[in-house]
Amino acid sequence: MRSLIVFCTLLIMGGAFVARYADRAIVNPEHVQDHRQIVAAEPMARSSSMTTVIAPAAPPRPSPHITTPPKPSLPQVVTLGPSARIVTLHGSRDGQFRVEARVDTLRIPFIVDTGAGAVALRESTASLLGFHPGQRDYTVTTHTANGTGKAAPVHLDTIEIDDIVVRDVRAIVVPDDALTENLLGMTFLSRVRWTHDRGKLVLEQQ
Whether residue 51 is contained in a domain is answered as no
pLDDT of residue 206: 82
Q: What is the three-state SS of 90-159? A: ECCCCCCCEEEEEECCEEEEEEECCCCCCEEEEHHHHHHCCCCCCHHHCCEEEEECCEEEEEEEEEEEEE
Please tell me whether residue 71 adopts helix, strand or coil conformation: coil
Q: Which domain range does residue 157 map to? A: 101-205
Rounded mean pLDDT of 200-206? Answer: 91
Whether residue 149 is contained in a domain is answered as yes
Whether residue 145 is contained in a domain is answered as yes
pLDDT of residue 48: 40
pLDDT-derived band at 10 (thresholds 50, 70, 90) equals: low
Whether residue 115 is contained in a domain is answered as yes
Residue of 110 and 145 predicted with greater confidence: 110
Our count of domains for the chain comes to 1
Whether residue 63 is contained in a domain is answered as no
**Per-residue model confidence as pLDDT tens digits over 166-201:** 999 999 999 999 999 999 999 999 999 999 888 899
Verdict on whether the full-model pTM lies above 0.75: no
Whether residue 27 is contained in a domain is answered as no
Whether residue 179 is contained in a domain is answered as yes
- Res. 52: pLDDT tops 80: no
Torsion over CA: 88, 92, 96, 99 (sign): negative
Measured between alpha carbons, how far is 156 from 182 in angstroms, rounded to an integer?
Answer: 14
Q: Edge to edge, what strands does the sheet with 193-197 contain?
A: 85-90, 200-205, 193-197
Burial class (CB in 10 A: 0-12, 13-18, 19+), 187: buried
Terminus-to-terminus CA distance in the chain, angstroms?
154
Residue of 163 and 50 predicted with greater confidence: 163
Whether residue 135 is contained in a domain is answered as yes
- Res. 56: pLDDT tops 50: no
How many other CB atoms are there within 10 angstroms of residue 166's CB atom?
19
Burial class (CB in 10 A: 0-12, 13-18, 19+), 183: buried
CA dist 68 → 64, 65, 71, 72 (Å) = 12, 9, 8, 12
Give the CATH number of the domain where residue 118 resides.
2.40.70.10
